[in-house]
Amino acid sequence: MPDRPQHHLINGIDLQAFAVAADANHSVATEIASLIRQRQADGRQCVLGLATGSTPLGVYAELIGMHRDEGLSFANVVTFNLDEYFPMRPDAPQSYHRFMNENLVDHIDIDPANVHIPYGLLSTGAVDEFCHNYEQLIDDSGGIDLQLLGIGRTGHIGFNEPGSDRSSLTRLVQLNSVTRVDAASDFAGVDNVPQWAITMGVQTILDSRRIRLLAFGKHKAPIVARAAAGKQSDSVPATFLQNHVDVRYLLDSDAASELPG
């Protein structure tokens, strides 16, 4: 049984510091599974906003295990991913389509038609319409019940880099140089990292009913503290989460090490 986390309440955010990342992953996966089952009992679909990268891998592994060992069904689940590089082939090694298939979708019983990920091979002229339709799909689904987030060193959520407006919606964005450097190892060098991405907007994220942000490691400690305790500003888009009525940070002890108090 995971140890109980230490709780910090800062600017209305419930920050939970776990001894190890695995305990935070278990907590989030258990909450997601409970939400899926409750929606099933109510005869409703469960709409999840999903993230990529190394941070949520433990959550996805737990959910796959629950499906395999406990019979957790994803038949009523609809998913919307936060973002995708642009341009990017869906079958490319760095593609978030491929990431989601390999780390979750191919291992559960979700209907592929219910899996939504921004498409990275659009013509430039088709991007705006795609983004508008992505927002419409979220609205038509009833909105996102729970949004899973990580946080970048720039304070980005999704690919909402510094300068992103609080009211921003799904759109094409230019990636910050720090973000591209952090992704360089996946692309065999920073010069190969795309300069653009399609991302849900800040407002799109804030419209979710619940938000759960995961952050692990000492390198995330400064931005976690700034996002939670700093003044709200588009220079650190994650600070806009302070406005949300149901947001929780789930951290390991290292990521929580610079929180005030």
Q: Distance (Å, rounded) from C-alpha 241 to C-alpha 95?
A: 27
Q: Distance (Å, rounded) from C-alpha 85 to C-alpha 117?
A: 11
Which of 62, 84, 135, 161 is labelled catalytic? 161
Greatest Cα-to-Cα distance within the chain, rounded to the nearest angstrom? 52
Q: Is 161 among the catalytic positions?
A: yes
Helix (H) or strand (E) holding 57: helix 57-70
Q: For every residue of 90-138, which 3-state class applies, written as one string?
A: CCCCCCHHHHHHHHCHHHCCCCHHHEECCCCCCCHHHHHHHHHHHHHHH
3-state secondary structure of 3: coil
Instruction: Just list the catalytic residues.
Output: 161
